[in-house]
Amino acid sequence: MKITDIQFGMLRVPLKTPFKTALRTVERVDDIVVMVHTDTGHVGFGEAPATAVITGDTHGSIVDAIRHYIAPRLIGHEVADLNRITHLIQASMEKNTSAKAAVEIAVYDLWGQLYKAPLYQLLGGGDPVITTDITISVDYIDKMVADSISAVERGFESLKIKVGKDIGVDIERVKAIYAAVEDRALLRLDANQGWTAKQAVYALQTLEDAGVKLELVEQPVKARDLEGMRYVTERVHTPVMADESVFGPMEVIELIRLRAADIINIKLMKTGGISNAIRIADIAGLHGIDCMIGCMLESSISVAAAVHVAVAKADVITKVDLDGPSLCQYDPVDGGVNFNESEISITDAPGLGIRQIHGLEPIDG
C-alpha cells in the first residue's frame, strides 16, 4: 500500500451553542480535512482546525504546509513503513503542528486499514469504551449554571468550566456551579491562560477555603510562564494541569524537571499527531504523571484518532476531554467512533473506521 496523492476539503459544522473561552468565541467548526490516497484504493482521513490563537495555524498555512512541504516527502512511500513516514512528517518543517497532525492521523488510519485492525489494537489494545467531560463555555453565571445542570442531566459526570475573564466573577461562577451540581459531577477549571500566577493562587485558595472541591485547574497562566505555573502548583491543593505550555516531548521533559504542573494535557494538534502524543504519554508514565487527552474544536474525524490513543494509553491517560463532536449540531461522518453524549466507543472497523464524510467543500490548488 503506497501513498499516491494527498487531497483537501473544507468541513463546516455549526455548534449547538457558541464556544466561549478567555481567548476566543467560535460558532462553528471550520476544519481542513486531509485525504491520503493509495495505490490500493484505500483512503486515510485526517483533520486540522485553524486555532491561530494557540497553535498559530490558519487554514491557508495548513494547506500550504501539507501541499508544499509534507506531501512531496510522502508520495511513493509504503504505509507499512510507519516510523519512517512519521519521521518525514515531523522533519518536514518547523512548527505547523496541526498540519502535521492531520497527515499523521490519515497515515495511521491507513496503517490500521493495511493490517485490517482498529487503530487502538495496533497501538496496544485496551477497553474500547471511554467517557468524556463536556465544556461549559464562559458566560453569565445563570447561563453557566443552567448549562451545567443540563449536562449533568444528560449523563456527564465531569464538567470543564471555562474561566479566566474576570477573577471576581470567575470565583462566583465556580461557586454557583458547584452548589448547583452538588456531588453529581467533578469540576475541572480551564482558565486558558487568563490569570496571572498571583490571581490564580488567590482564586484557587478562595475556592478551596469555601469548600469547593475541584478535580483540577488547567493552564491558569500564560503558556510560556513556566515559573508562574510552578508558583501556582506549589501553593494550591488543586492539581494544576499544563495545556498550552506543552506542545511536544521536550516541553514535557522541561515541565517535569521544573515540577511546574501535576498533569499534562495531550492534544494531537499541539503534538503534531499521534507519534509524539505516544511519546509524551510514555515520558509522563515513566515519571508517574497522569495525562488528559483533549482536542481543539474538531469534528469526529480527528477526535476519533485521539480516542484510539486514549484507549491504548489508558494507564497514563486517565482523563478525557474529547467533547468536540458533542458540541456540534450533527456528526458529518459515517462510520468511525461512536459519540453518544459522555460515552465514546470504538467499533471493530479497521483504522479509524471512517466510511464517508458528508458536506466536504473541495479545496482547489
- Split into its structural domains, the chain has a count of 2
Q: How many H-runs (helices) and E-runs (strands) does the chain carry?
A: 14, 17
Residues 170 and 318 in one domain: yes
Total Cβ atoms within 10 A of residue 180? 15
Task: Name the grid cell of 275.
Answer: 507519534
Active-site amino acid positions: 162, 267
Query: Residue 249 is inside which H or E element, if any?
Result: helix 249-258
Total Cβ atoms within 10 A of residue 58? 14
Residues 236 and 256 in one domain: yes
pLDDT attached to residue 365: 62
CATH at 244 = 3.20.20.120
Q: Which of 42, 39, 15, 37 is nearest to 28 (CA)?
A: 15
Binding residues for substrate: 24, 135, 160, 295, 297, 321, 323
Looking at the predicted structure, is the pLDDT value of residue 183 above 80? yes
Residues 129 and 248 in one domain: yes
Looking at the predicted structure, is the pLDDT value of residue 123 above 80? yes
Residues 173 and 92 in one domain: no
Structural domain boundaries enclosing 277: 121-356
Binding residues for Mg(2+): 190, 218, 243
Residues 55 and 155 in one domain: no
Q: Which of 177, 144, 135, 190 is nearest to 15 (CA)?
A: 135
Binding residues: 24, 135, 160, 190, 218, 243, 295, 297, 321, 323
CA dihedral 97, 291, 53, 333 (to 10 degrees): 70
Residues 13 and 90 in one domain: yes
Phi, psi angles (nearest 5°) of residue 205: -65, -35
Looking at the predicted structure, is the pLDDT value of residue 23 above 90? no
Tell me the pLDDT of the chain averaged across its residues. Answer: 97
Q: Which of 261, 256, 305, 308 is nearest to 283 (CA)?
A: 256
Mean pLDDT of 306-310: 98
Residues 65 and 154 in one domain: no
Looking at the predicted structure, is the pLDDT value of residue 24 above 90? no
What amino acid is encoded at 280 in this protein?
I
Domain membership flag for residue 364: no
Report how far apart, in Å, the C-alpha atoms of 173 and of each of 91, 243, 321, 324 are.
Answer: 44, 22, 21, 23
